[in-house]
Amino acid sequence: MTQGLTLEDQIVVAIRRIIRAIDVHSKQLVEQVGLTGPQLMTLKVAAELGTASVGALAKAVHLSGPTLTGILDRLVRRGLINRVTATRDRRSVVITVTEKGYETLASAPSLLQERFRQKLEGLAEWERTMLLAAIQRMAAMMEAGEMEDVPVLDGEMLIDASVPGETPRIAPFIEGESISGGHDDVNERNYG
């Protein structure tokens, strides 16, 4: 097994397996709830935030604006979210989850992340720590392509990335902006 493969090759192959696993899971989701991974993820985060601008949402799910716009288009088309312009700052677009959106969420299977998390919980503490250290180191080595060399990290300097779990918690960072509070001064937006 894998005799011709160098150790380095095997690592790269493993990364590919991970990427592919994410993709496979996304396709399974489509069959089960008609939503892709990114869509479900976005819906979930939107539900946690309750009310959020597109920008804040993009940050929370770690996607670029244009990408999120496309995903939101699909979610709107399925009637899972509302997309409304704020009256306060009319550039801002506020996202909320519809009734149907919450229903969908209730019956939706877990994200790959969550399943993965469960598996992680089956491991010993030291194993998890080791996995984390290893993959972070890997990430650092790959990022070091152009910029300075591998930062010395022990697993502390991390990005914010509140990639949502299921723990109902409000994103702490939301780009301090007026959107957050529950101010409902929004109007329907008539997208064609």
Partner DNA sequence: GCCAATTGGTTCGCGCACGAACCAGTAAGG
Partner DNA sequence: CCTTACTGGTTCGTGCGCGAACCAATTGGC
Residues from 145 through 164 that contact DNA (CB under 7 A): 162-164
What does the DSSP assignment read for 71-107? HHHHHHHTTSEEEEEESSSTT-EEEEE-HHHHHHHHH
Binding residue for DNA, selected from 17, 27, 128, 183, defined by CB under 7 A: 27
Contact assessment for residue 100 and residue 80, using Cβ atoms and an 8 Å cutoff: yes
Binding residue for its own copies, selected from 47, 80, 95, 112, defined by CB under 8 A: 112
The span from the CA of 10 to the CA of 142, in Å, is 15
Q: Which stretch binds its own copies (CB under 8 A): 52-60, 74-82, 98-106, 157-165?
A: 157-165
Q: Which stretch binds DNA (CB under 7 A): 83-91, 112-120, 122-130, 132-140?
A: 83-91
146 binds, among DNA, its own copies, none (CB under 5 to 8 A by kind): its own copies
Binding residue for DNA, selected from 1, 2, 8, 91, defined by CB under 7 A: 91
Beta strands 93-97 and 186-188, pairing class: unpaired
Q: Which stretch binds its own copies (CB under 8 A): 3-11, 78-86, 87-95, 181-189?
A: 3-11
Is the CB of 32 or the CB of 187 nearer to its own copies? 32
- 3-state SS class at 38: helix
Place of tokens 């109902």: 168
Helix (H) or strand (E) holding 24: helix 7-33
Q: Does 36 bind DNA (CB under 7 A)?
A: yes
